[in-house]
Amino acid sequence: MVIPQESYMLADKASSPYYVKHVDPSRIAMEFYLTNQANQLSRRTNWFYTPEVMDWDSVSGLLKLERINGLIPLSIYINNTHQDLELLWKVGRALGTIHLQMKPSSKIKSIAPKPWCGRPEDQVIVHGDFNTTNIGCRSTDKRIIILDWSNGPALPFQCCIASRYLDLAHFVRSLLLQQSCMIKAMQRYPDRMNVFLQGYCDQTGIVVDFTKLFTFLVLLNHAIMKKQWRQRKIISFIQSCLVQPLFAVSRINKKWHKKLFCVDPKQMHYSYIHSRNEKNRRITT
Ligand SMILES: Nc1ncnc2c1ncn2[C@@H]1O[C@H](COP(=O)(O)OP(=O)(O)OP(=O)(O)O)[C@@H](O)[C@H]1O
Ligand SMILES: [Mg+2]
């Protein structure tokens, strides 16, 4: 169906029940499919919500979504609340739910090329651009909202199946680089990263392999650096350049990871949050 241009203008107003976004027509089928599947899954779980797709048009690239009111991007919200760790633990659980429960269909089943596809045991349906600007928190009920189910524009391919470490790396990188104050982000990073990975582990039972994670961080950061350079986003490019050696050294040597980021992979246990959410966990798993 073709969404007329006027309806796009109307629907884009905040008072409209719809949010219409423009997507590259070559990518819209994949985004529609993933958003739709995520919406169905999100109705069966308490961990996150993805807006419903009301309509889409492969010619014009218009995607009409249910509008979420009171949406605050996570990149802003986590810096304005004292409950950032609890929230990030829930984001880890939400991503775990997605990786466990979303399944490829015969219609769309494209696998990422090497090395992005990872090892067979790590191949899952991925969000593709799982970062703190594409995830929000709804102010009314504190529900985590996951948007923008398209492969990150920095990636040189389109896929729906890739290594779980692609999404994990996207999020861990954004905890460091997508924050308004990088110094504060560095200080909070060990706790934030640990608690997010703990949530993921609690949901999937998979203990994150730090060598794989840092391999993907190096790959992903490099791809994003290239895009930032092409777009002449100089400050973002410099920030990405600064962290690249830290990611690279951490990949080679776990001790360096502990030294540079003060994160001990063996001590990823947040009993405080764990016990507080134990009841909630049993209800919603
Ligand atoms: N369903 C929705 N309801 C309300 N706001 C939305 C909705 N979808 C997207 N938005 C708003 O639009 C912003 C961009 O959306 P999205 O990430 O899906 O598109 P994008 O094309 O990737 O844009 P960007 O490049 O800015 O990330 C979101 O951060 C959010 O503020
Ligand atoms: Mg986006």
Tell which atom from ligand 1 comes closest to the C-alpha of 148. Answer: 18
Q: How confident is the model at residue 273 (pLDDT cuts 50, 70, 90)?
A: very low
The reply to whether omega before 115 is within 30° of 0 (cis) is yes
Q: What is the pLDDT of residues 49-62, one digit of tens each?
A: 999 999 999 899 89
133 lines ligand 1 (CB under 6 A): yes
DSSP 8-state secondary structure symbol assigned to residue 217: H
Record the tokens describing residue 236, joined without a space.
Answer: 């973002």
**Phi, then psi, of 137 in degrees rounded to 5:** -125, 130
Domain ranges of the chain: 5-66, 71-277
From 71, 135, 146, 149, mutation site for ligand 1 pocket: most ligand atoms within 8 A of C-beta: 71
Record the tokens describing residue 40, joined without a space.
Answer: 């169905």
- pLDDT for 154 equals 84
22 DSSP β-pair partners: 62
Of the options 3.40.50.10470, 3.40.50.720, 3.30.420.40, 3.90.1200.10, the CATH number for the domain spanning 71-277: 3.90.1200.10
Tell me which residue has its CA closest to atom 20 in ligand 1: 148
- Do 116 and 157 form a contact (C-beta atoms < 8 A)? yes
- Do 79 and 27 form a contact (C-beta atoms < 8 A)? no
Q: What is the pTM of this model?
A: 0.88
From 21, 140, 144, mutation site for ligand 1 pocket: most ligand atoms within 8 A of C-beta: 21
Q: What percent of the chain has pLDDT over 90?
A: 53
Q: What percent of the chain has pLDDT over 70?
A: 84
189 lines ligand 1 (CB under 6 A): no
- pLDDT for 134 equals 96
- Do 174 and 88 form a contact (C-beta atoms < 8 A)? no
96 lines ligand 1 (CB under 6 A): no
- Do 21 and 35 form a contact (C-beta atoms < 8 A)? no
Q: What is the pLDDT of residues 172-185, one digit of tens each?
A: 999 988 777 778 88
Q: Give the Cα separation of 107 and 10 in Å (integer).
A: 32
Instruction: Single out the residue of 268, 269, 251 nearest to residue 260, CA to CA.
Output: 251
Q: Give the Cα separation of 177 and 283 in Å (integer).
A: 34
Tell me which residue has its CA closest to atom 17 in ligand 1: 148
Q: What is the pLDDT of residues 188-235, one digit of tens each?
A: 888 898 899 999 999 999 988 888 999 999 999 999 999 999 999 999
Q: How confident is the model at residue 8 (pLDDT cuts 50, 70, 90)?
A: very low
Compute the average pLDDT of residues 82-97. Answer: 92
- Do 254 and 210 form a contact (C-beta atoms < 8 A)? yes
Which residues are within 8 A (CB) of 180 and not within 5 positions of it... i.e. 6 or more apart?
75, 76, 79
